Amino acid sequence: MASSSQKRRWLRRSLGGGLLATAALAILAAPAFAGTLTNVNWTVSNSQTGKTAVTYAFSFKTATTGIVKTVTMAVPAGTAGTPVVGSVYGLGAGTVALAANTLTYTVTTPVSVAANIPMYVSFTGMTNSTTAGSRTSLVATNTSVPAVIDSGTSQSIMFGSSSTTAQVSVGRTLTFTNDTPSFTMSLDPTGLSTNQTQPVVLTVQTNASGGYSLAASDTGLSMTGPAFTIPAVTAGPGTGVATFPASGFGVSAVLTGGGTDGAALAAGLSGGKWVGYPSAAANFLTTTGPTGATADTLTLTNQVNVDYTMPAGTYNDTISYVVTPTY
């Protein structure tokens, strides 16, 4: 027969085992939460980045029965504003707060919500993040402990910039043509052919916003052995003569086009006068704007007169043109 001390030790071991068993049963009986919300949807009334006074709305269906104290909804980093509760369905009245990129709707009087119950909450007064991109929202229903009852992720919303930056590059364009790269004249001072003319047609087309200038110069209509130069009728395009001299080399000009670019001939060429080519480039034509779709056409009529003061021989010259646009 067991002694009284042995009986006391056996009783303590039995009671201890009973307490351990009871604790184990309590753990197994704890409720299982964290189901998956279904039909999670997030909408915004305006998806432009940085837009103010935007309404955010969230809808979902519960998966697990539970006493819902709060609903949390993740929003993009940088979301701001002072949210105000809009419409609420499936939940009681409550308040909303925005903190740490999370909207939290707190139910004033929590009640048990069964599974498969559709819910809807909306909030006005939101300000979208200024960062563009595709964003989803993690929505969760929670107890007052707090502990997650159900959670789920919404579809993506694309937040885009409220402005579009555009850059178009237009190249600098200048087209210059010369229809007469060379010409030859034959003159006879006896009166059979004392003067001859030769037109040279130049065209300019450009998108230079400040217009362009067309300058010309020559090396002098001269020969060697003996050295002699047929004189220019004037020193340059700034001064013109109405009557061509008995002996000389000069040019007159007619401009067509140039109606929209402010084209103007040099002063000496006005009224069909004759001028000489200078030794250093000087402007024969200037404009103040682009030519547009129609090119400017400058017809230069070169003329040479000779008399018996001109020695016989071959006279050569090089006429140079320079077009300078201002962009």
Determine the pLDDT at residue 59: 96
pLDDT in tens, 138-174: 999 999 999 999 999 999 999 998 777 788 888 999 9
Is residue 57 very low, low, confident or very high in pLDDT (cuts 50, 70, 90)? Answer: very high
d(CA 140, CA 156): 17
Is residue 33 very low, low, confident or very high in pLDDT (cuts 50, 70, 90)? Answer: low
Residues 152, 181, single domain; the answer is: no
Determine the pLDDT at residue 14: 39
List the domain range (segments joined by +) for residue 184.
Answer: 174-325
Average pLDDT, the chain: 89
pLDDT in tens, 237-274: 999 999 999 999 999 999 998 788 999 999 999 999 99
**pTM: predicted TM-score of the whole model, two decimal places:** 0.58
Residues 188, 311, single domain; the answer is: yes
Determine the pLDDT at residue 26: 34
Please report, for the domain that includes residue 309, its CATH number. 2.60.40
Residues 154, 178, single domain; the answer is: no
pLDDT beyond 60 at 34: yes
Residues 119, 232, single domain; the answer is: no
Residues 112, 203, single domain; the answer is: no
Residues 148, 236, single domain; the answer is: no
Handedness of CA 275, 304, 200, 183 (dihedral sign): negative
Give the number of domains in the chain: 2
Residue 1 lies in a domain: no
